[in-house]
């Protein structure tokens, strides 16, 4: 080990390692298969020319990649510095010199330019630089795969430290994602996020090959979306400046599509729904003027302020829902639409005459029946095109007030109960998006945010029943503690599933709920942790031998954080810079096999 360069060590497990020195680059996500040649780095001769039939998206993406390559002249940020010199860590820095001749062009072959950016579209690509060749050869089944090839290429062309550019070693990459659905969720209902900051997230997603922006667009607190059918809904935006015009939304969708990212919208219904809806007709919203909290149990109507749920029994609700849904679903081209369904609070419906009468009509009815009524009435409205697939939070199927009978083609987003709920939902035959709060929630661990909270007035032993709120404890948010990148990366979310159940896991989403998020902190809460998620579902968290590669990932994610910064994404630091400069010096364990 001692005489191998660090990056040979780091990249060895990503593919077939040829055993040579001087592999300097460490793209993220690590490709499924990467084979380095052994003839020494290739020089890039001037600006690389793209050879491919004209296609606006492909050429736009190439312009960006090419611009990043020449403007950044990237020097890997985590690989060159002095390295700890004691076993078992690798030592030595790579040497650099560009071979003559030089790379002049990128030859791109795309089989199918027409494949739509929809769920399961082929994203695979190959990228090869043959020894002594003047071209970089890329093949892809679809243009979306080609875009991924570019974000790999821009990370492996690096500075030669003399003003030139090189690719360290000829290289052959064969790459494709493990999962077709790889998302992050932003919430623009709790606090407004500007379009500019949403685009910044898309930049980070494109670089890390995440391909779904789940846009939780409104919530009980605000309705920030311009509506033509009901213009009054934006009276519940936070201000006239905190509204997405439909043009803004189209801009976000186009910007995402240009980067091979789908935008899956969510309008949360029937829970988490007061703002906007109440401006149309107070009668279609229940309990919006109630007290929410549970220190006065009879008044408890919501998990957080402010309360409000769509009235499930009022017929008018469905007329309004249909108009709102038809308008929004005509703007978002994705075949998936997320219609929420989480955290229905039964007590809220005490405030609805319609619901009270409905229960009084037949005293065998319970809240499961009420939720079933919603599913039966609302689902046909949401299922408004042939290609439509609906996504709902798991609560509809397995929550405390779950419906009994749910169409099998509804996709559930699992957020509670870790592996148990993933198993449960996939065993029921549903496709599942994994968002387990204990692993993937990016908002956890920042403390509680509601006011007048006596639990923060503890000097001594806190209440053992609420350990999250311990003074000096793990920090009081309901899903504390904070999920570190290692926590995210190590999550083996298909553990103990049968093969059939595994097939139902279509991917993951890391949500960032925005009670404590706005433009100022959004990027640092998402990045670079989302890059750990990205690699987990692109090429996995294990090497070819099945060994967890979290420690190997450390330098890769530290480097990638710097790369995000260089590309304008305000990612947070993960460690003292010392650790990036001294690989392994900051490992907790000397034993390199300690993560199983
Ligand atoms: C709602 O009604 C139930 C059953 O009557 C009762 O237990 C609960 O306290 C009521 N909640 C509110 C907020 O009125
Ligand atoms: C809702 O409409 C149905 C007919 O579609 C009707 O039978 C029912 O009485 C209406 N319910 C209410 C609460 O108005
Ligand atoms: C949506 O409609 C299609 C038929 O067009 C049907 O096959 C499918 O089960 C429906 N899905 C839901 C969730 O209702
Ligand atoms: C899923 O969980 C529900 C309870 O929420 C339980 O009734 C059901 O049996 C479970 N199903 C499976 C397949 O584990
Ligand atoms: C997986 O199943 C085995 C056998 O039932 C069990 O012992 C183990 O705890 C399970 N693993 C997890 C992570 O739940």
Model pLDDT, residue 341:
98
Q: What is the DSSP letter of 185?
A: E
β-pairing verdict for 262-269 and 165-167: unpaired
Q: Would you say the CATH fold of 181-450+464-541 matches that of 33-82+99-175?
A: no
CATH number of 33-82+99-175: 3.30.379.10
143 alpha carbon – ligand 3 mean position (Å): 30
Residue 473 phi, psi (nearest 5)? -90, -160
Model pLDDT, residue 89:
45
CATH number of 181-450+464-541: 3.20.20.80
Residues with CB under 6 A from ligand 1: 298-301, 347, 350
Residues with CB under 6 A from ligand 5: 419, 495-496
183 alpha carbon – ligand 4 mean position (Å): 26
Q: Model confidence at 475, in pLDDT bands (50, 70, 90)?
A: low
Which tokens sit at 258?
A: 């240009």
Ligand 3 mutation pick, 386, 409, 411, max ligand atoms within 8 A of CB: 409
Model pLDDT, residue 466:
65
299 alpha carbon – ligand 1 mean position (Å): 8
| Helices 143-156 and 56-72, axial angle in degrees (round to 10) | 10
Ligand 2 mutation pick, 311, 312, 313, 315, max ligand atoms within 8 A of CB: 315
Average pLDDT over residues 434-443: 98
Domain ranges of the chain: 33-82+99-175, 181-450+464-541
Q: Model confidence at 17, in pLDDT bands (50, 70, 90)?
A: very low
Ligand 4 mutation pick, 368, 396, 397, 398, max ligand atoms within 8 A of CB: 398
What is the percent of the chain with per-residue pLDDT over 90, rounded to a whole number? 79
Helices assigned H by DSSP within 428-465? 437-440
Model pLDDT, residue 132:
86
Other C-beta atoms lying within 10 Å of the C-beta of residue 350: 15
Model pLDDT, residue 57:
98
Which tokens sit at 189?
A: 């209902």
Smallest CA separation from ligand 1 atom 8, residue: 298
Model pLDDT, residue 13:
35
Distances from the Cα of 445 to the Cα of 189, 419, 489, angstroms: 20, 21, 18
Which atom of ligand 1 has the smallest separation from the CA of 290?
A: 13
Contacts of 222 (CB under 8 A, 6+ apart): 189, 190, 192, 236, 237, 238, 242, 275, 276
Q: Residue 264: pLDDT above 80?
A: yes
300 alpha carbon – ligand 1 mean position (Å): 8
Residue 250, Cβ density class (10 Å: 0-12 exposed, 13-18 middle, ≥19 buried): middle
Span 159-212, pLDDT tens digits: 988 889 999 878 999 999 999 999 999 999 999 999 999 999 999 999 999 999
Smallest CA separation from ligand 1 atom 13, residue: 299
Q: Model confidence at 78, in pLDDT bands (50, 70, 90)?
A: confident
Smallest CA separation from ligand 5 atom 8, residue: 496
- Using DSSP, state whether 104 is helix, strand or coil: strand
405 alpha carbon – ligand 4 mean position (Å): 13
State the catalytic residues: 343
Q: Residue-wise over 359-383: b if at least 16 C-beta within 10 A, else e?
A: beeeeeeebeebbbbbbeebbebbe
Model pLDDT, residue 46:
85
Q: Model confidence at 377, in pLDDT bands (50, 70, 90)?
A: very high
Whole-angstrom distance, CA of residue 42 vs CA of residue 24 = 12
Smallest CA separation from ligand 4 atom 3, residue: 398
Three-state SS for 216-261 is ECCCCCCCCECCCCCHHHHHHCCCCCCCECHHHHHHHHHHHHCCCC
Average pLDDT over residues 54-75: 97
């Amino acid at each position: 080990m001692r005489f191998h360069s660090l990056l040979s060590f780091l990249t060895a497990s990503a593919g077939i390692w040829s055993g040579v020195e001087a592999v300097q680059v460490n793209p993220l996500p690590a490709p499924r298969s990467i084979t380095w040649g052994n003839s020494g780095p290739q020089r890039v001769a001037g600006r690389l020319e793209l050879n491919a039939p004209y296609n606006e998206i492909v050429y736009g993406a190439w312009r960006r990649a090419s611009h990043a390559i020449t403007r950044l002249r990237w020097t890997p940020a985590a690989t060159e510095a002095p390295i700890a010199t004691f076993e078992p860590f690798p030592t030595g820095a790579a040497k650099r010199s560009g071979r003559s001749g030089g790379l002049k062009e990128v030859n791109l072959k795309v089989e199918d330019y027409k494949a739509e950016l929809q769920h399961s579209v082929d994203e695979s690509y190959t990228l090869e630089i043959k020894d002594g060749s003047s071209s970089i050869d890329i093949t892809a089944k679809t243009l979306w795969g080609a875009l991924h090839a570019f974000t790999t290429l821009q990370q492996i062309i690096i500075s030669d430290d003399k003003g030139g550019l090189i690719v360290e070693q000829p290289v052959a990459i064969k790459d494709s994602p493990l999962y077709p659905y790889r998302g992050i969720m932003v919430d623009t209902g709790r606090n407004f996020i500007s379009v500019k900051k949403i685009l910044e997230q898309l930049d980070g997603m494109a670089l890390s090959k995440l391909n779904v922006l789940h846009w939780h667009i409104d919530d009980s607190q605000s309705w920030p979306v311009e509506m033509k059918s009901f213009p009054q809904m934006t009276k519940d935006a936070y201000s006239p400046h905190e509204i997405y015009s439909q043009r803004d939304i189209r801009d976000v969708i186009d910007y995402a599509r240009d980067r091979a990212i789908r935008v899956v919208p969510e309008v949360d219904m029937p829970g988490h729904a007061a703002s906007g809806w109440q401006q149309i007709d107070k009668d279609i919203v229940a309990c919006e003027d109630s007290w929410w909290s549970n220190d006065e149990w009879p008044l408890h109507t919501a998990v957080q302020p402010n309360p409000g749920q769509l009235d499930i029994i009022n017929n008018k609700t469905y007329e309004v829902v249909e108009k709102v849904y038809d308008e929004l679903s005509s703007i978002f081209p994705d075949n998936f639409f997320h219609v929420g369904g989480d955290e229905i609070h039964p007590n809220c419906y005490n405030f609805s005459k319609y619901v009270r009468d409905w229960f009084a009509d037949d005293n065998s009815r319970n809240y499961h029946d009420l939720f079933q009524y919603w599913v039966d009435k609302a689902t046909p409205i949401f299922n408004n095109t042939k290609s439509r697939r609906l996504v709902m939070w798991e609560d509809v199927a397995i929550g405390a007030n779950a419906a009994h009978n749910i169409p099998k083609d509804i996709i559930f987003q699992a957020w509670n109960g870790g592996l148990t709920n993933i198993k449960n939902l996939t065993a029921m035959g549903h496709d599942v998006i994994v968002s387990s709060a204990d692993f993937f929630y990016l908002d956890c661990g920042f403390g509680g945010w509601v006011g007048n909270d006596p639990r923060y007035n503890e000097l001594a032993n806190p209440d053992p029943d609420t350990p999250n709120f311990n003074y000096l404890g793990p920090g009081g948010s309901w899903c504390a503690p904070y999920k570190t990148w290692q926590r995210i990366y190590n999550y083996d979310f298909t553990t103990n599933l049968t093969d059939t159940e595994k097939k139902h896991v279509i991917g993951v989403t890391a949500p960032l709920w925005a009670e404590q998020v706005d433009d100022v902190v959004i990027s640092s809460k998402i990045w670079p942790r989302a890059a750990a998620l990205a690699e987990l579902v692109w090429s996995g968290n294990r090497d070819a031998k099945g060994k967890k590669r979290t420690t190997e990932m450390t330098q890769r994610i530290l480097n990638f954080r710097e790369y995000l910064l260089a590309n304008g994404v305000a990612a947070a630091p993960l460690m003292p810079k010392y650790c990036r400069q001294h690989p392994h010096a900051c490992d907790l364990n000397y034993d390199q096999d300690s993560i199983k």
